[in-house]
Amino acid sequence: MSYQLYDDEPYLVSFSGGRSSGYMLHNLVKENNGLPEQAHVLFANTGKEMEETLDFVAECAERWSINIVWLEHCYNDDGVVSFRIVNRDTASMNGEPFEELISRKHMLPNVVMRFCTEELKIKTMFRYMRSVGINKKDLTNVIGIRYDEPRRVAKVKARNEKEKFETIAPLVDAKITKHDVGAFWKSQSFDLKLPNNNGTTPLGNCDLCFLKGEKKISSIIRDYPTLAKWWFDQEDRIQKGSAENGGKTENASFIKRIPYRALPGANMHDLLNIEIECFGCTD
Ligand code: SF4
């Protein structure tokens, strides 16, 4: 059975707050008659998730009677990188964890330096697991990538060979595609209240994530102008700090070709439509 979990094995079930990982989580709960004690369902909030995503995570926990641990990246009083546990009421909604990370790094993440995924999500989850006595090498990482995401599947296989822990992808094993996920959520009494665009969620993960591609980001900025300010501000302050220090400004924009502030005014025909799948930030 693709969704079977074992009582004596520790699991990190990574829940992104998207429809695919929600579908996976639902089936894990259903097919195991609840979740074993050692299955830790974690949601890492960057602070730039849409409010609808936060509501969805809270609703999944409530409807399915499971514990989802909400985590945020932070630094402790000694300035050492750490995590905090939050909930729907206390979760950051103005990008605070993300902004603090950028401040410490003095640079912005981009397509080739995706330190946001690594720090805000992946390492934050492993830090939590370590805090409950489970080391990375002893756990099985359960992720919600689908069968119709071949590049991500290939990355999982490559990582399994390289890393000290195992990653499993139940939706891949069960050959679940975005159409199956869409059909499932249509049959449910609740859903993620973000648009479903032919099986993808343009506003999923961080609202204006640089991996969404220039065209999509530009469209989102036009449709939701209030979301853009935070991203503009990050570029402005890193640009300013970099210039003041006489440093290079190469890492002062999320997209090398064009700053976010210039995207809404750019001709759509001049923008690239390259979307990049993120291994750490699954749908
Ligand atoms: S969704 Fe994008 S911006 Fe947010 S953590 Fe993932 S890669 Fe970074």
pLDDT tens, residue by residue, 41-63: 999 999 999 999 999 999 999 99
Cβ–Cβ under 8 Å, residues 38 and 84: no
Per-residue pLDDT averaged across 127-133, rounded?
A: 97
Digit-coded pLDDT (tens) for 74-91: 999 999 999 999 999 999
Domain 11-199, architecture per CATH? 3-Layer(aba) Sandwich (3.40)
Average pLDDT of the residues in 11-38: 96
* Dist. CA 15 → ligand 1 center (Å): 14
| Ligand 1 mutation pick, 278, 279, 282, 283, max ligand atoms within 8 A of CB | 278
> How far apart are the C-alpha atoms of 14 and 125, rounded to whole Å?
8
Q: Is the CB of residue 17 below 6 angstroms from any atom belonging to ligand 1?
A: no
Q: How does strand 11-14 pair with strand 140-142?
A: parallel
Mapping DSSP to helix (H, G, I), strand (E, B) and coil, where does residue 261 land? helix
- Which of the four pLDDT bands, split at 50, 70 and 90, describes residue 272? confident
Q: Where are the domains of the chain?
A: 11-199
Q: How far is the CA of 247 from the centre of ligand 1 (A)?
A: 25
**Distance of alpha carbon 86 from alpha carbon 67, whole angstroms:** 13
Q: Residue of the nearest CA to atom 3 in ligand 1?
A: 209
